[in-house]
Structure 1
């Protein structure tokens, strides 16, 4: 089973696309943006799950890095 939240590889312009259950949540430029997307999706404990691979899959690049690739 894959994680319901995917933080995609950094784009060439910076930031990372975020999908939640396959739906686009937005473009995160830092962890605060990511947490806000998750909060809007109903995850009030978002800060606590950022490094939990059961919840979030970080693709292409290191977790928590949003700079252009």
Structure 2
């Protein structure tokens, strides 16, 4: 694992620590191509990597019956 990947994975952990509601908001903003403060220095490719990782993590969270206020209604 490269040093940059380690940093990106740490950012993912930091974002997840914000809670599911915030994570879903970040996913929506990243999907629209918006910048977020936590990834201000990330390249577009890195933002896409983080977006896909967050989507994967939240899919697992949802499949395991995550908190009701965090369930997607889409």
TM over 0.5: no
Larger Rg: 2
Q: Per residue, is there more helix in 1 or in 2?
A: 2
| TM-score (normalised: structure 1) | 0.33
| TM-score (normalised: structure 2) | 0.32
